[in-house]
Amino acid sequence: MRIGIHNKPGSFSDRWIDYCKSNNIDYKLIDCLDTNIISNIDDCQIIMWHHSQGNTKEILAAKSILFAIQKSGKIVFPDFNTNWHFDDKVGQKYLFESLNIQSAPSYVFYEAEHALNWIEKTSFPKVFKLRGGAGSENVKLVKTKSEAKKVVHKSFKTGYKQYDAWSNLKDRWRLFNLGKIGFWSLIKGVIRLVYEPEFSKVIGRQRGYVYFQDFIPENEFDIRIIVIDKKAFAVKRMVRENDFRASGSGSVLYEKENFDDKTVAAAFDAAKKLKGQSVAIDFVYDGQKPVVVEISYAFVKEAYDLCVGYWDEQMNWYEGSFNPYGWMVDMVIKQYKETIK
């Protein structure tokens, strides 16, 4: 049994390779973007590729390639159940509704007229989101009916760039002042006012649909729980000052006391329904009730290195450091062994 690992320094592949080396697991490095990828992996039974939403080539190809490989009978990470809705909040709306996952009520329209009719009847504020994006960059509060109408008109006329240069620069300025990013990163944000990043051009303008969520008020943080192979770990992310958005704020808490059993149990329950190999679930609270706002199979690994422990499905807590990237490798090996039983 051999694992093909798509080699992308900085991604999960660094950790997967380390884990395979230290546990004597046979692996080879592969390039999933090579036109001969399918024949190049003849000698692999498992393929792992941490593709991301900000990488032009991966946006174009990763899902198709992985799904094709999965169809050939090999085990892949991330597999179809884990991956089809990645960076697609609109897809996730239908998924949460189909699986009865307690989530923030969401609305999507493919005709301006339908959206405008809905605006007349609904209440405000609402949260307007593009279907893709991370770190809160494409998430905005729409406070009034007239603001919402403007959003609808823009969504069906010029559309929205995937990369919002002004709001990105504002966030860089905030992070720079908090000492979380350097001067060069700030300057890059300024350059981006003129030069749209390649990935954003490739995705193209977001138009022809508009997506809103009910605004769940009075949340000073969100809770992200990541479930991998029946184990869960969590972070609490405080919202930005005078803002409702937590992800990307840079203000993260890790101690166990920040998390309640109810939310961890809700994460296990959602992960079970989703049948995903790796599911990061973002929760906010409607009163006491945890509601999901989005999911993602991938995450920024450094942000979770400070987690202080994890839970199993029976809600036992294991204090201390752990290796979720090793869990991923062990999980796909287990899945492979199931297929040859």
Question: Which of 104, 148, 227, 271 touches ligand ADP (CB under 6 A)?
Answer: 104
The Cα–Cα gap between 90 and 101 comes to 15
What tokens were used for 339? Answer: 């297929």
- Considering beta carbons, is residue 17 or 293 the nearer one to Mg ion? 293
Q: Which stretch binds Mg ion (CB under 5 A): 5-13, 77-85, 211-219, 240-248?
A: 240-248
To the nearest whole angstrom, how small is the minimum distance from the Cβ of residue 135 to Mg ion?
8
Interface with ligand ADP includes 103 (CB under 6 A)?
Answer: no
Binding mask 118-147 for ligand ADP (x = CB under 6 A): ---------x-x---xxxxx-x--------
The correct pick among 62, 175, 210, 216 for binding ligand ADP (CB under 6 A) is 216
Q: Residue 68 Cβ, how far from ligand ADP at the closest point, in Å? A: 27
* Interface segment toward Mg ion; rule CB under 5 A; list 43-51, 70-78, 112-120, 290-298: 290-298
Residues in binding contact with ligand ADP, number by CB under 6 A: 24
Nearer to ligand ADP, 103 or 277 (CB): 103
Closer residue to ligand ADP (CB): 285 or 325 = 285
332 binds ligand ADP (CB under 6 A): no
User: In one letter, which amino acid is 90?
Assistant: V
The β-bridge partners of 285 are 290
Map 220-252 to HEC letters. Answer: CEEEEEEEECCEEEEEEEECCCCCCCCCCCCCE
H/E run at residue 205? none
Contact between 312 and 261 under an 8 Å Cβ cutoff? The reply is: no
Q: How far is the CB of 102 from Mg ion (least distance, A)?
A: 16
- 247 scored as a contact of Mg ion (CB under 5 A): yes
Q: Say which residue the tokens 């999933």 belong to.
A: 32
CB nearer ligand ADP, residue 7 or residue 167: 167
Using N-to-C axis directions, what is the helix angle for 145-156 and 112-121, rounded to 10°? 170
The per-residue DSSP string of 6-64 comes to E--TTSHHHHHHHHHHHTT--EEEE-TTSTTHHHHTTT-SEEE----TT-HHHHHHHHH
Strand order across the beta sheet in which 210-214 lies: 106-109, 210-214, 126-129, 139-142
Contact residues: ligand ADP, CB under 6 A: 104, 127, 129, 133-137, 139, 213-216, 219, 222, 239, 244-247, 282, 284, 293-294
Sites of contact with Mg ion (CB under 5 A) = 247, 282, 294
